[in-house]
Amino acid sequence: MSLKEKNKVVIYVISREHLLAFYHADYPEVGYQVPAGTVESGEDPLEAARRELLEEAGLDLPPERFTLLGCESHDMRPFKCELHFRSYFYVKADEAFLDTWTHHELHAGTQNECSPTKFCYEWISTKYDIKNLLSVGQGRFVDRILGVGAGSIPFQRKEYVAINSKLSKFRADRISHIRELLSLLPKNYIAENDISMWGEVRKGRYSALEQAFYSITKGIEHHEDEQLSFGASLLKFLPQVSNETIHVSLHSKQRVYSSEFESPPYVSTFNIVDRVGDQKIKNMLQAIEVCISHGFGDTVESQVGNICILQEKDLLSATDSYTLSGLPSTIYCDYIENTYRLAEIILHEATHNWLNEALRAYEIKLDQNKEFYSPWRKKFRPAVGILHAALVFSRLIGFFEVLIARDELAEYELVYFTRKLESEKLVIMENIEMLSEVLGMLEQAPAIKCVIAEEINRVINFY
């Protein structure tokens, strides 16, 4: 498919080692961007940059302030079938600006004339990882600005902040709903004071609550008193489960139930009986910290409350891992004695948990009858499975990029992650048209669609 070509400008305004960036007030899922726009027919890129900065930010700065940093092309798929040829400009601004402000861009003479675009501006310190913060590849040349350099501290991406705020409300409503349902059970099953003693519910305690609720509902559904009794006892123990960290346990010491899931749901007791040794717990927590410190806390911090270790594998072995939609915040995975490999597994499964919760929060149910060939599973899969794989592996590629760029890997780790990056990127590149088609099924959930499209766009424009 041929791409429509367009000339664009991107403007970095720097004041006191801070970059001027904005997000769309009405569409925060688009993420952080900088002033940018289309070069009109016959217009010089420098004049286009000045015009766009005035229209989008209200700043009228003289041409001598603008320095051309370079040019490059950017493939806009799966957002649009367009190829953008971008000219990047650096503008030094020492004036005393407001810390934040709102600007409305008018669209005179267009179909959006009566609906101005609302930009929310703020200054972001260049000590942060601007390159990976900005959407649609706009951070490409920020490290070319003399005296600024490339920051490495992760900064929360606006698109994840926007969706995670909705997920927080969804989870609060979910907890309230579970509380209401459990209060309807006969008193010989659940005492009122058991429910009233929960307190705050997050991290390991949230995983325990979901597993208790799962056990109780399945026990009632299948008339299994033992399963129901286990869920009730777990609910009674809930206040003693940590709200500050995760629980790591062994599958061999957990209860396992037959269910409608493809993989077995192991249910933890969330106490000392089923937990693993201190060293494995320490390694798991270190792996989570790697995900957070490398810019993926927006997914991992809220989506991992319980880790169930399946098998212990050596460094060169393939590993198995999975999540279950009916047991959110729990990850099932093999254990390997390597922090970065563990981080890869945790990020993989936490992303599945995140997307499952997002689809539920936005009440999205995709057509299960329409299937697409999955290059990952090597068989036809429903659209939701394709979306999961696209988001998971796109995020993993981003994780591999950061690991490799930070030059902190041993030689064998570098070889492993480089090969993984190259092979997974190739799969995304070869299936971009199919992925674009599947994303079209998310029109009723533009926030989720935008996030997945952004992650895919980062992969196909890898540099």
Q: What letter does residue 406 receive in the DSSP assignment?
A: T
Q: Indicate the pairing of strand 247-250 with strand 306-313.
A: parallel
Of 373, 370, 395, the C-alpha closest to 452 is 395
Alpha-carbon distance 54 to 61, whole Å? 8
Within 13 Å and on the Cβ side, how many CA atoms surround 451? 25
Q: What letter does residue 386 receive in the DSSP assignment?
A: H
Residue 246 has a pLDDT of 93
Level-2 CATH architecture, domain 4-155? Alpha-Beta Complex (3.90)
Task: List, for residues 232-269, the tens digit of each pLDDT value.
Answer: 999 999 999 999 989 999 998 888 887 778 899 999 99
Mean pLDDT, residues 302-330 taken together = 94
Residue boundaries of the structural domains of the chain: 4-155, 162-267, 289-460
Residue with tokens 């990056």: 421
Mean pLDDT, residues 112-124 taken together = 81
Percent of the chain at pLDDT > 90 equals 76
pTM for the model: 0.93
Q: Are 45 and 39 in contact (CB under 8 A)?
A: yes
Task: List, for residues 363-385, the tens digit of each pLDDT value.
Answer: 999 888 899 999 999 999 999 99
Alpha-carbon distance 348 to 177, whole Å? 29
CB-based contacts of 46, cutoff 8 Å, min separation 6: 63, 66, 68, 89
Q: Which has the minimum average pLDDT: 62-76, 177-191, 288-302, 411-425?
A: 177-191
Phi, psi angles (nearest 5°) of residue 102 = -115, 135
Q: Are 433 and 1 in contact (CB under 8 A)?
A: yes
Categorize the per-residue pLDDT at 187 as very low, low, confident or very high, splitting at 50, 70 and 90.
confident
Taking 90 as the threshold, does the pLDDT of residue 108 lie above it?
no
Alpha-carbon distance 306 to 266, whole Å? 11
Taking 90 as the threshold, does the pLDDT of residue 442 lie above it?
yes
Taking 50 as the threshold, does the pLDDT of residue 109 lie above it?
no
Residue 189 has a pLDDT of 77
CB-based contacts of 284, cutoff 8 Å, min separation 6: 246, 248, 307, 342, 346
Q: Indicate the pairing of strand 330-336 with strand 306-313.
A: parallel
At residue 253, what is the residue type? K
Residue 1 has a pLDDT of 66
At residue 445, what is the residue type? A
